[in-house]
Amino acid sequence: MTDAKGHNTSEGYLRYSRKKRLFLGALAASLFLLSLITIKLGSTDLSFSEIIRYIFDPDDSWNSKVVWDLRLKMVVAAILAGSALGIAGCVMQSILRNPLASPLTLGLSNAAAFGASLGILFLQGGLIVGSTAAYVTISNPLMVTVLAFAFAMTATGIMILLVKVTECTPETIVLAGLAISSIFSAGLAFLQYIADDVALSAIVFWQFGSLSKVSWDNLYIVAAVLFAAAVYFFYKRWDYNAMEAGDDIASGLGVNMKATRYVGLTMATALTAVVVSFMGIIGFIGLIGPHIVKKVIGNDNRYVLIGSMLVGSLVLLVAYVIGTYAFYTVIPVGIITSAIGGPLFIFILLRGRRRR
């Protein structure tokens, strides 16, 4: 197709699309390299060839255990949690047409944390291991996840109701999210107040958002939920683009608005719930991931969904490396991501205000 001036519009568009795919490819390559480097970091010195050998051919040696049970597990946890939170934030932003939407800003993370804490502390869903530097291991992952999901869905339900009955601005939704967060924070504080000292320190550490105590079994659950949700989201990528263009346009293009909105939010909530259950509250990944990608390649969900997963993983991996190696003691990733994400959140708020 060539216009009057001889420009080939189709070819121009195909080149433009190739650039977006190239960007995603570069992100994937960066993630692969950073993963390898992260596995190499640590007191046990291993070469890249040894790392690759132990990954594909593990044995009973100490080095093999270091690679599989310490380093690779952390990297896989960062990639899975980063992908899950990144894509959940991306879908929430499209469905609610709200650039400020994310699991944390809508109060879902705190709601899930409350549900999970309830299960861990009082319904024998978790074990408090140790006496001084105590930590939580999840002994009944299904129950903890279901509770986290149930409370996160309560927060999502309140949000859907608010969007439905009021003409909420993006900022109002986030304020409502703050209110929801506060309610569940109060619940969490109450649980902590009545817990004993050891359980308290363990549960507080878990809530910070940490990759360190997650097990491979937990990661299989996160991977399964992420796989199902990502396939569904990717199948619906055209619908999310249409929804960003407005309800009437989306309906006119044959999108079943109710089903797409509710199933999408439920899936995003489930992703948040599994991550929070096993790794605590890791804030702002759902906000940072999509925003960085959108800044570079625009809002096309055909690319942004995958990009949000990749950037979410990269940011979480960087936060893990900083938290583990940059200070005299190991800092949980949740603290690092909040330190990076807070200022970015303010930046997005200010930019949104300038545009209006």
Partner 1 sequence: MMNVKDLSFSYGTTKILDKVSFDADDNQIISILGPNGAGKTTLLKCICNIHDPEEGSVMIDGVNILDLKGREQAKNIAFVPQSAPVSRLSVFDSILMGRKPHIEWSATRSDIDKVSSVIDALGMSHLSLRYMDQISGGEFQKAQIARAIVQEPRVLVLDEPTNNLDISNQHTTMHMIEHAVRSRGVCTIMTMHDINLAVHYSDRFLFLKGGRAAAYGGVEVITEGLIRKVYGMHAEIVHHKGIPFVVPRDSSKYEHLADHEHPHDIHDHIHG
Q: Does 231 bind partner 1 (CB under 8 A)?
A: no
Among 166, 251, 326, 327, binds partner 1 (CB under 8 A): 251
Q: Does 311 bind partner 1 (CB under 8 A)?
A: no
DSSP state of 8: B
Torsional sign, CA 40, 306, 211, 177: positive
- DSSP β-ladder status, 135-138 and 126-129: antiparallel
Question: To the nearest whole angstrom, how small is the minimum distance from the Cβ of residue 158 to partner 1?
Answer: 24
Q: What's the token pair of residue 144?
A: 């903890």
Residues listed for the chain? 356
Q: Does 256 bind partner 1 (CB under 8 A)?
A: yes
User: 135: which strand partners?
Assistant: 129
Q: Does 7 bind partner 1 (CB under 8 A)?
A: yes
- Choose one: 6-14, 107-115, 162-170, 206-214; the region binding partner 1 (CB under 8 A): 6-14
Q: Does 13 bind partner 1 (CB under 8 A)?
A: yes
Q: How many residues bind partner 1 (CB under 8 A)?
A: 32
Q: Does 98 bind partner 1 (CB under 8 A)?
A: no
Among 97, 178, 335, 349, binds partner 1 (CB under 8 A): 97
- Choose one: 25-33, 113-121, 167-175, 298-306; the region binding partner 1 (CB under 8 A): 298-306
Q: Does 236 bind partner 1 (CB under 8 A)?
A: no
Asked whether the beta carbons of 352 and 99 are under 8 A apart, the reply is yes
Residue with smaller CB distance to partner 1, 14 or 33: 14
Asked whether the beta carbons of 141 and 120 are under 8 A apart, the reply is no
**What CA dihedral angle connects 257, 259, 265 and 266, to 10 degrees?**
170
Question: To the nearest whole angstrom, how small is the minimum distance from the Cβ of residue 239 to partner 1?
Answer: 8
Asked whether the beta carbons of 91 and 228 are under 8 A apart, the reply is no
- CA dist 108 and 158 (Å) reads 10
Chain-centroid distance of CA 293 in Å reads 14
Question: To the nearest whole angstrom, how small is the minimum distance from the Cβ of residue 8 to partner 1?
Answer: 8
Residue with smaller CB distance to partner 1, 1 or 329: 1
Question: To the nearest whole angstrom, how small is the minimum distance from the Cβ of residue 247 to partner 1?
Answer: 8
- Choose one: 39-47, 103-111, 119-127, 246-254; the region binding partner 1 (CB under 8 A): 246-254
Alpha helices by DSSP H, listed for 123-215, are: 141-165, 170-194, 197-207
Question: To the nearest whole angstrom, how small is the minimum distance from the Cβ of residue 187 to partner 1?
Answer: 36
Among 93, 241, 272, 338, binds partner 1 (CB under 8 A): 241
Among 29, 41, 133, 253, binds partner 1 (CB under 8 A): 253
Question: To the nearest whole angstrom, how small is the minimum distance from the Cβ of residue 18 to partner 1?
Answer: 12
Among 145, 147, 300, 315, binds partner 1 (CB under 8 A): 300
Residue with smaller CB distance to partner 1, 50 or 244: 244
Q: Does 232 bind partner 1 (CB under 8 A)?
A: no
Q: Does 91 bind partner 1 (CB under 8 A)?
A: no
Q: What's the token pair of residue 51?
A: 């790392």
Q: Does 22 bind partner 1 (CB under 8 A)?
A: no
Positions that interact with partner 1 (CB under 8 A): 1-5, 7, 9-10, 12-14, 16, 97, 238, 241-242, 244-246, 248-249, 251-256, 294, 298-300, 302
